[in-house]
Structure 1
Amino acid sequence: MGLVSKILQLISFIGVLILFAMVVAAAVAAAQAKPGCSTHKCGDVEIPFPFGLSKDCYLNEDNQSFNITCDGSDPKTGNLIVKNISIEAHEMHVLKNVAQDCYLKSGALTPESTGNSYLDVAPFTISKTRNQFTVVGCDTFAFFRWYQNGENYSTGCASECSSLRNAFNGSCSGVGCCKAQFPDGLQNIKMQVYSFNNHTGIWNFNPCGYAFVVEKGTFNFSTNYLKNLPPKMLPMVLDWAIGNETCEQAKKKPNFACRNKNSICHDPETRSGYQCKCEPGYLGNPYHPDGCEDIDECNDPIRTQNCSTAKGCVNTPGGYTCRCPKWYHGNGTKDHGGCEADFVIINRIAIGAGVGFISLLVLSSWVYFILKKRKILKLREKFLQQNGGMILEQQLSRQEGSTETVKIFTVDELQKATKNYDESRIIGRGGFGTVYKGFLADDKIVAIKKSKIEDENQIEQFINEVVVLSQINHRHVVKLLGCCLETQVPLLVYEFVPNGTLFKHIHQESNASTFPWETRLRIAAETAEAIWYLHSVASIPIIHRDVKSTNILLDDDFTAKVSDFGTSRLVPRDQTQLATVVQGTLGYLDPEYLQTNQLTEKSDVYSFGVVLVELLTGKEALSFARTMEQRSLAMYFISSIKEERLFEILENHIAA
């Protein structure tokens, strides 16, 4: 029902607007012609007073005639066809002939050539802002001449082109078409169009040149017009005013045109004479004795929006007022105090209702938040089970002392630390998650990894990373500080390593040049020490399974720390190898592991060897930008040694 009600309200609103527009249109039409003159149309064109079609039906002010002749269906002023007369804008839209200069293939002028075109629009003036002088042709120059204040002036432009290669439809920038501006207040002009070479040599695509004054936005240049300009008459806009005097001068005369009691006189800025306009709040023809009629603003729903109620609108001459409903007082508007209740009892009822509503709102909000909190707690418990919380607890409980170093963080703690996982806090993305920089309540900086868990197999990888890292306490291995399982996506909290990855420092040119051999050698030794610790010292040996330069982080002193144990495996001491599904990164994968699926410590050693080659060469482990023989860095390095070309692939500052 609510939607139907809104649709009915919208239809009613549109109906009121249409009715208001019809009333206004009827008032304007009724005030078109001078009293006693019944005819005010020629064809489809309205002829409003001070213009007229017959004697005594138009204004004749100081030899300034507003007579319009009606020849069939076309009204004319002089030799111009009138298409529209605007009282409000004081403009007349007319059609004007085009001046043309056409030639035969031999170079002789054709009979239809006009060359010169004279235009006398007095008592009107050519609108500078609404028109432009335009020339079309590829062997054409044209002038726009006028006489003003006792002196001769001219302006114009030229267009030459030997082909249509650089002439484009819609572009009048000098190739096939050019434009020129002219001043305000012109009444008599002469257009002259000429040819440089009688259009010889280009006659096949441009036999004529054209010049004309045209209303801006109505002429769109086409390259087809160079061969033939079909519209021989184009629109132009004229400005008009009454007489040559100012308002102050004209008011003293008995034939002052602004006689309507609701009209005001206005001095135009760009021409002499004066113009009449309806006062604010009135609409119609200010030159007609009964032309300016009061607008009933209360029929306009946009205006009545200012009133406290639509029924409170009261129309007044030239405006409207707002009044308050019964039992209220004030100015009736929505602003400036509005309407206030007259009786204390109404205020008391309103206060009581308000207090009751607020109490109900507070109570319902309290119930809502309690239910929402319970729902959140249940959801967090569900996520804890879903993310393997029980399994993780069992795994950690088997490791002596592991639960003392791993902290369980709450959702709220990590949301606050990362500004609710804001994009600006992202410091890395990997195959198994996104890493955010976080600030704990004690101002400690941490790295928070949000894992991408899309199936239960990945839950096992997440639990695996927690279990593996809980076994490790080594200065060259990223330390796990804790985890959070209360969210749909589990979270791991690590120590923050500020200097980025080894990959970044090797392969980014801005870093590689300031990354000396001594530092590279130390990082290699520290990484080797960490891998040796994982394989030989940890209580249960650990195979990292994804050793690569992006998983080696550097702190402020460029100390190496191995990270990302999502795919690592614990290896019982009575086993030397594990049968697993192959996982790792192409370019670093041990070929033997790739073929046999048998994971051993040698797989990490092979991957570490690729990292060493990266440190020596500065090249990526796998690059499809290199040739097939050079695509794998490991194979490329081995072949270079065999062919005694090792120094060719070492980084320049290392080889030196």
Structure 2
Amino acid sequence: MKLLLLLPFLQGPIWVCAVAETPLSSPIVPPVSPASMAPFSADVQVENEWKPTDLDMKVVIALIVAGTALGAVILSFLCFCICYKKCLSKFNRKNVQSLDVEKELARTSSLRKFCSFKMDDKKGSISIFDYKTIQKATSNFLESNILGEGGFGCVYKARFHHNLDVAVKKLNCESQDAQREFQNEVDMLSKIQHPNIISLLGCSSNGDTRFIVYELMQNGSLETQLHGPSHGSALTWHMRMKIALDTARGLEYLHEISNPPVIHRDLKSSNILLDANFNAKLCDFGFAIADGSQDKNDIKISGTLGYVAPEYILDGKLTDKSDVYAFGVVLLELVFGRKPVEKLTATQCQSIVTWAVPQLSDRSNLPNIVDPMIKNTMDLKHLYQVAAMAVLCVQPEPSYRPLITDVLHSLIPLVPSELGGTLRVPQASEPPPST
């Protein structure tokens, strides 16, 4: 047997053995004459020296080259994996702040461009905008960009990068009430996600001034549509029923699904906003309270004249039925096109409730007092159903009012299926339904 060679390869020792072509019966060490062994010491071994051939050396060199190349490939792959892992970890840390924003905005396709914006800071899951960004987006709060006005400030149209339009509410928070309203609205909207409730995009501050950034609702408020220059001409009967249904869905989420339940406390036509497709969304949660979070009998009475339930005004009793009363007032606005409170004289006003309820006792007169913009455009049976529903919602006794869920289920059959209800609208060739 030839001498074993140890090759130090990268993956461990490789032993190469060359076997001589000597028969197994032949002696391993060739015979030596006794005379020749005499000079040797007893502990000296005799070796049969093997000299490698050129072919053997080529094989060894080829194995060494192949092993070295394989080791280099493996080493390069390991280095690449380590570098990739480090870069990926760095990238994830750099973008972790934008993950919550992406989740919030993925629901609305028109807001997806917003995800690429650079946020200056985060407060929980709320994006904090730099004041200069807000100032630039509103053209330094240009008066022509004002969308509406509230008790503590104005709402401006703003344009950010990528031509994304949003709405910015500017609040003067020098008073504790204004500061409380700002904080309450941000806290509420940061926890609420529903298609019929306005989406909060972020907030900002500059001294005593606070800013809340929302998605832009292109068709403004229901109040502007009904009582503005167009006087409701853009709102058909079916469109009005869709707006009522959307509003009821938003309220049902607050009353029945949200945990804890939420009472809006300031539901009115100016706080129902309409997007480009006239989908309705509730906004302005500055007065909203979480049911059970505080003693509702001890809070300051808030709301808008004409929408506030009588038991809340007289006794300070607040329940979800207070929102149902306000919803009934909105329903009357949609049917009759009248404002919630109208002046009769310089010193006398009349609410839509005190005007409408006595009128609705005469069913035959109802088609004559509906909003002229929608007169003779609806199924009279549906008109009677909506009028009866509105009367129930504005009952003086809260226990007589229905739950918003009951109102919702009553509205669904009155809204065409393409608008979110279940009503099948007959085609032009089909005869109209009998009344």
TM bucket, shorter chain:
0.5 to 0.7
Query: Aligned partners of 2:206, 2:178: CA distance in 1, in Å?
Result: 17
Rate the CA distance shift 1:538–1:513 in 2: closer, same or farther, 3 A. same
Contact residue 174 and residue 208 of structure 2 kept, 8 A: no
Bigger relative CO (Cα 8 Å, ≥ 6 apart): 2
Task: Give the aligned length.
Answer: 254
Query: Aligned partners of 2:295, 2:370: CA distance in 1, in Å?
Result: 35
Deviation track 1:501-532 (CA, whole Å, cap 9, x = no partner) reads: 11111123535233210000000000000011
Rate the CA distance shift 1:637–1:474 in 2: closer, same or farther, 3 A. same
State the partner residue of 1:245: none
Rate the CA distance shift 1:419–1:596 in 2: closer, same or farther, 3 A. same
Deviation track 1:192-243 (CA, whole Å, cap 9, x = no partner) reads: xxxxxxxxxxxxxxxxxxxxxxxxxxxxxxxxxxxxxxxxxxxxxxxxxxxx
Query: Aligned partners of 1:629, 1:428: CA distance in 2, in Å?
Result: 27
Of residues 464, 467, 482, the one that matches 2:184 is 464
Of residues 542, 567, 591, the one that matches 2:310 is 591
Contact residue 579 and residue 599 of structure 1 kept, 8 A: no
Query: Aligned partners of 1:421, 1:560: CA distance in 2, in Å?
Result: 26
Query: Aligned partners of 2:255, 2:306: CA distance in 1, in Å?
Result: 22
Deviation track 1:424-451 (CA, whole Å, cap 9, x = no partner) reads: 2211111132111111234321111111
Rate the CA distance shift 1:445–1:405 in 2: closer, same or farther, 3 A. farther
TM-score, length-scaled by structure 1:
0.37
Of residues 160, 166, 169, the one that matches 1:449 is 169
Of residues 222, 245, 249, the one that matches 1:502 is 222
1:482 has 2:202 as partner = yes
1:602 has 2:326 as partner = no
Of residues 519, 527, 541, the one that matches 2:239 is 519
1:201-350 alignment runs, 5 A limit: none
| SS of alignment partner, residue 155 of structure 2 | strand
Aligned AA for 2:178?
Q
- Structure 2 unaligned residues grouped into runs of 5+: 1-121, 377-435
1:552 has 2:272 as partner = yes
Of residues 537-546 and 517-526 in structure 1, the stretch that sits farther from structure 2 once superposed is 537-546
- State the Cα RMSD in Å: 2.3
Query: Aligned partners of 2:295, 2:196: CA distance in 1, in Å?
Result: 24
Query: Aligned partners of 2:289, 2:274: CA distance in 1, in Å?
Result: 24
1:579 has 2:266 as partner = no
Of residues 340, 343, 365, the one that matches 1:621 is 340
Contact residue 170 and residue 209 of structure 2 kept, 8 A: yes
Contact residue 405 and residue 481 of structure 1 kept, 8 A: no
Rate the CA distance shift 1:513–1:485 in 2: closer, same or farther, 3 A. closer
Contact residue 232 and residue 373 of structure 2 kept, 8 A: no
Aligned AA for 1:624?
K
Query: Aligned partners of 1:530, 1:626: CA distance in 2, in Å?
Result: 37
Deviation track 1:83-114 (CA, whole Å, cap 9, x = no partner) reads: xxxxxxxxxxxxxxxxxxxxxxxxxxxxxxxx
The percentage of counterpart residues that share the same residue type is 39
Contact residue 461 and residue 567 of structure 1 kept, 8 A: yes
Aligned AA for 2:131?
V
Aligned AA for 1:590?
A
Larger Rg: 1
Give the drift of 1:422: 1.6
| SS of alignment partner, residue 558 of structure 1 | coil
Higher strand share: 1
| SS of alignment partner, residue 512 of structure 1 | coil
Deviation track 1:263-318 (CA, whole Å, cap 9, x = no partner) reads: xxxxxxxxxxxxxxxxxxxxxxxxxxxxxxxxxxxxxxxxxxxxxxxxxxxxxxxx
Aligned AA for 1:532?
E
1:354-373 alignment runs, 5 A limit: none
Aligned AA for 2:213?
V
| SS of alignment partner, residue 341 of structure 2 | coil
Query: Aligned partners of 2:367, 2:310: CA distance in 1, in Å?
Result: 25
| SS of alignment partner, residue 475 of structure 1 | coil
Rate the CA distance shift 1:509–1:417 in 2: closer, same or farther, 3 A. closer
Aligned AA for 1:521?
M
| SS of alignment partner, residue 360 of structure 2 | helix
| SS of alignment partner, residue 252 of structure 2 | helix
| SS of alignment partner, residue 156 of structure 2 | strand
Query: Aligned partners of 2:184, 2:266: CA distance in 1, in Å?
Result: 14
Give the drift of 1:655: 4.0
Rate the CA distance shift 1:653–1:460 in 2: closer, same or farther, 3 A. closer
Contact residue 267 and residue 307 of structure 2 kept, 8 A: yes
Aligned AA for 1:587?
G
Of residues 632, 635, 656, the one that matches 2:351 is 632
State the partner residue of 2:157: 437
Rate the CA distance shift 1:576–1:653 in 2: closer, same or farther, 3 A. farther
Rate the CA distance shift 1:619–1:417 in 2: closer, same or farther, 3 A. same
Rate the CA distance shift 1:435–1:514 in 2: closer, same or farther, 3 A. closer
Contact residue 266 and residue 287 of structure 2 kept, 8 A: yes
Give the drift of 1:465: 0.8
Give the drift of 1:628: 9.1
Give the drift of 1:412: 1.2
Query: Aligned partners of 1:450, 1:627: CA distance in 2, in Å?
Result: 33
Give the drift of 1:577: 5.1
State the partner residue of 2:371: 651
Query: Aligned partners of 2:151, 2:303: CA distance in 1, in Å?
Result: 10
Give the drift of 1:403: 5.4
TM-score, length-scaled by structure 2:
0.55
